[in-house]
Structure 1
Amino acid sequence: MTQCNLKVLLGLLLAAAPAASAQTLLDTSAAIAVQNTLQQTAAPSMPAVPTPSTAPTPAPAQAPASGDPSTAPTPPATPLTPAQQAQLAQAQAALGAGQLTQARALFEELIAQNYAQPEPHFGLGLTLLAQGKLKEAAFEFTQLRALAPDRYEAPYNLGVIATREGRFSDALRLYGEAATLAQGKAGVATERQVLEALATEQTRAGDFAGLSSTLARIVALDPNDTDALFRLAQARTLAGQGAAALPQVYTVLQRQPARVDAALLLADIYVSQGLPDRAVRELDAAAGRVLNGGDRSVLLLRKANILAATGDTRGAVLAAQDAVREDSRFAAAFARLGELLVLHGDRPGALAAYAQAVKLAPQNAAYLTAQAAVRLALGQTAQAGKDAAQALKLKPDPATLARAQFVQGVAAYRQGQYAQARAALRSSAATAPSAETSLWLGLSAYALKDYAGAASALSESVRLNPTPTARQNLASALLAAARYPEAEAILRGLVDENPKNSEAWYLLGLAQRAQARETEARQSFKTAANLGNTRAKGALK
């Protein structure tokens, strides 16, 4: 989809599922989404570590992998004695009750008595994790991993530590290992918790193919979880498998016909498949199913964007008008309507739409700046400058900042405030260089008789976009700076391209006269005069 000045996000929402209650002593990491194409719900808070009602059966000891420098060979595990089993249960109860100092002492005592048993290491690791002692906790989980390599709890909790420390690639690897070990061995809720942690890191890494596989496992665990099914459809779409995601999206809509995010995703998929008309029809159908005007407005606004991307500006305007009728409090819809009306050539209508957007969202710098730009185009110069100045007070993003400074600069130039114009346009060019900004910066410098500065700015404008206007203004600045040969070269190019450009012929005559080539100069002046240039006629006298 094409993006306009007021950008419309793709609309893919990976809703974070809350962490499931663990079947064993598991910690869980908060979900953090980092994809800028995704809108994510707030990450769930870190849940308390649950405690099993009974002590788990000790896992048999496993010899450490050969060549692993992090662990030394350990003796075979001796089964816990009845007294040790009772102490283990006491330690786990203390952990569950938040009595961390007591739990730590009990687990450490058990480890001293029977080091090769994995369960005390597990409990001590969780206790240290709860105390925020990540390095010590990691050591215990590493011991657990060596003693019981078939258990998922060790890599899972090592992944939690890696996430907390910002080692996200390590976390991704560890959660993947835990997910493999948990498959078919852990309870459904616990396996899902592990998979959700893996999904979080895959989202962070932008591994949407891997995320699709993980979410497919989550859906298999709970086929009735509609949110998980929708997330799977999103992941497949982001992985470039939009067509493969269609069955999941339609299933979501069959279960929840009024679901707006699913309808938007469906439209995005059809657009990505080169079928914008199908996308529009699906949005129209969804608009008839939703239950309130706010949702209908969102769907109609997406329809407007799709139509605009296909070049149907009139249809886009009509859809945006429908959107604001459905929800008269939807500031973004009014702003988009204003943008579309500008494209449609209706600047007065655009100004009215932007005014409503600003009224609804007075702290939105982008809306104020867009309104200022329309005012400038309509000749409302002073008010345009005031709007731009107000937008600059709202701490806009860099693109909006540069645009507001541009409007402010042009407005100042038109009001004869050349120093203010130069300052604003110089700031705009520094933030977001553009040919138009450099053109107006050059004009402002020229008006201040800063001919060297004018030539520099206009040279940049020509470099970015060598339009005849920019080149002719550059030639004027070069003449004023007494750089006659350079000016002549530019002007010869202009008259060769357009022999009827009377102003270029006149300026060429000035360049030739300044170089004491009077015969050539008079011929250029005559050509300009014959084309109606009054200044050239004066130069011939």
Structure 2
Amino acid sequence: MTHTRTVLLGLTLALVSHGAAQTMLETATTIGVQNTLQSAGTPSLPTINLPTQPAGTTTSAPAPVVTPLTADQQALLDQARAAYQAGNLPTARRLYEQLVTQNYTNPAPHFGLALTLFAQNDDRGAAFELQQFTVLAPDRFEGPYNLGVLATRGGRHDEALKFYTQAADLMKDQAGPAEQRQVLEALAAEQTRKADFTGLTTTLAGIATIDPQDLNVQYRLAQARTLSGQGAAALPGVYALLQAAPERTDAALLLADIYVAQGLPDRALRELDAAAPRVKTGEERATLLLRKAAILTQTGDTRAAVFAAQAATREDPKNAAAFAREGELRAGRNDRPGALTAYQNAVKLDPQNATYRAGLAGVRLTLGQNAQAQADAARALTLRPDDATLARALFVQGVAAYRQGQYALARTALTSSQTRAPSADTALWLGLSAYAAKDYAAAATALGDSVKLNPTPTARVNLGSALLATARYPEAEAVLRGLVSENPRNAEAWYLLGLAQRAQARETEARTSLKAAAALGSTRALEALK
């Protein structure tokens, strides 16, 4: 189901956001510590090295013996809790440490001390105390859960996943609905981060059981099922969600994506059309229309895709992305004036967007507006573009410079573009720029690269010319002979082939080639025959 995951890539972000910043969990249990803390700071957590058994031994650690608190120790525990809840952390820490000294084998002081140290941003100390708590109270879920919180804060996500899984297994008979959901949300966040959508489906199903009226959970569950390759199984949940909340744009988009992944794009389009009257705002209708444009593009109906994108701009006239999409689609259909207008609108709405500016530059280049294209490309380069946009802007800058006779600038820009994103077109223009600067060896190298990436007749004939200029006559002849064999009406190839043969002192063959070029209208071949 690789295609499914590609279609739904943007939707996975909704899954990640839930539980991304976990808090310590404190429940009213026999342990007796309450009031959930908020995370503060993100110091890294050290690895805790537990003692290992010598090789060959099979003994297991004895079961821990918990010593009950005495009446005086219980009173001291109450004082420590009161200090902690009042925010008097130094006093709370001192009292908890005193209790640990008096009764090390009771879990309550370790748990209270862990929470106090956590509140003081002492993650190392908190982790140690939680480890002692889990040894003394191995059946409690709070220990592994809170160790998971520390692991998440420390960026150790595999370890966090392990701890949250342990907590989820332990909590079933001891935690209330709110605490169960908190643990499951934390587990869901780590499963999402790991792209374990099968496990995520199970976790979200558990959350949905806890709170069956939460429509957002229903949506996330349908997402997870779809991303795990169970798109068809997700459909009943999506339709139920739309019955409860027919105006939800995200559910309509997910529904369409599921049908696309099932190879039913026409059904997806009908679902999007049906959803449009149900949504509440023009912005939401524009979102649906842009998805429709994307699906139509995938099916090859680019004309209808243009109309869908154009309709999106009417629904949401401030949507720069909609205008940019229209521009991209019109450019793909060679509607250059229409693409220019659309991209100009996108740039006007979002002048700091490097991608839109580079798109505008590319359209100007196709219209021969070289100076303006060069200026727009230069502007895009100042807007922190991503790698693909950077390479595109450098390409436009280079071609525009070449067309204006600025060969040194052209070579610099095109070389930089080719380094970032090698392509046959970039190599071709780089070769032409080097040739124009009379650096024929560099031209031959670049044009050779272009031919390797895409052996178009244009690249090959220019390579033949560059090889001739560097006196590599046999190589030039081989390239040019291949061209005239494939296309006997290529006058330029015949002319250059004649020059290559003449340079190797094969005048009879040269004149035959030059006559073929002259017959096809080459004036240079006529001059060479005199």
TM-score by length of 2: 0.91
DSSP-derived class of the 1:183 partner: helix
% identity of equivalent residues: 66
Selected match of 1:209 from 198, 205, 208: 198
Q: Give the corresponding residue for 1:56.
A: 32
1:312 is displaced (CA, Å) by: 0.9
Q: Deviations over 1:327-378 (max 9, x none)?
A: 1111101111111112233111111111111110111111111111111111
Selected match of 2:485 from 483, 486, 496: 496
Q: Deviations over 1:307-335 (max 9, x none)?
A: 11101111111111111111111110111
**Counterpart check, 1:437 vs 2:426:** yes
Structure-2 separation of matches of 1:68 and 1:140: 22
* Structure 2 unaligned blocks of 5 or more: 34-49, 55-59
Structure-2 separation of matches of 1:237 and 1:51: 35
- Shifted more, 512-521 versus 171-180: the winner is 512-521
1:78 is displaced (CA, Å) by: 2.6
Selected match of 1:370 from 345, 359, 369: 359
DSSP-derived class of the 1:524 partner: helix
1:96 is displaced (CA, Å) by: 2.0
Structure-2 separation of matches of 1:145 and 1:275: 52
What is the total number of aligned residue pairs between the two structures?
507
Structure-2 separation of matches of 1:362 and 1:191: 47
2:117 partner amino acid: L
1:539 is displaced (CA, Å) by: 0.9
Structure-1 separation of matches of 2:311 and 2:498: 58
Structure-1 separation of matches of 2:174 and 2:11: 33
1:12 partner amino acid: L
Structure-2 separation of matches of 1:54 and 1:93: 17
Q: Give the corresponding residue for 2:41.
A: none
- Shifted more, 486-495 versus 127-136: the winner is 127-136
Residues 234 and 265 in structure 1, CA contact (< 8 A), matched pair in contact too? yes
1:76 is displaced (CA, Å) by: 2.7
1:9 is displaced (CA, Å) by: 7.5
What pairs up with 1:67-466 in 2 under 5 angstroms?
76-466=65-455
Residues 51 and 96 in structure 1, CA contact (< 8 A), matched pair in contact too? no
Structure-1 separation of matches of 2:450 and 2:224: 43
1:75 is displaced (CA, Å) by: 6.4
Structure-2 separation of matches of 1:331 and 1:41: 28
1:115 is displaced (CA, Å) by: 1.7
1:47 is displaced (CA, Å) by: 5.1
RMSD value over aligned CA atoms? 2.4
Residues 272 and 292 in structure 2, CA contact (< 8 A), matched pair in contact too? yes
Change (3 A) 1:385 1:340: same
Change (3 A) 1:252 1:275: same
Higher helix share: 2
Structure-2 separation of matches of 1:135 and 1:378: 63
2:293 partner amino acid: A
2:32 partner amino acid: P
1:77 is displaced (CA, Å) by: 2.3
DSSP-derived class of the 1:290 partner: coil
Residues 55 and 88 in structure 1, CA contact (< 8 A), matched pair in contact too? no
Residues 7 and 261 in structure 2, CA contact (< 8 A), matched pair in contact too? no
TM-score by length of 1: 0.89
1:50 is displaced (CA, Å) by: 5.8
**Counterpart check, 1:12 vs 2:4:** no
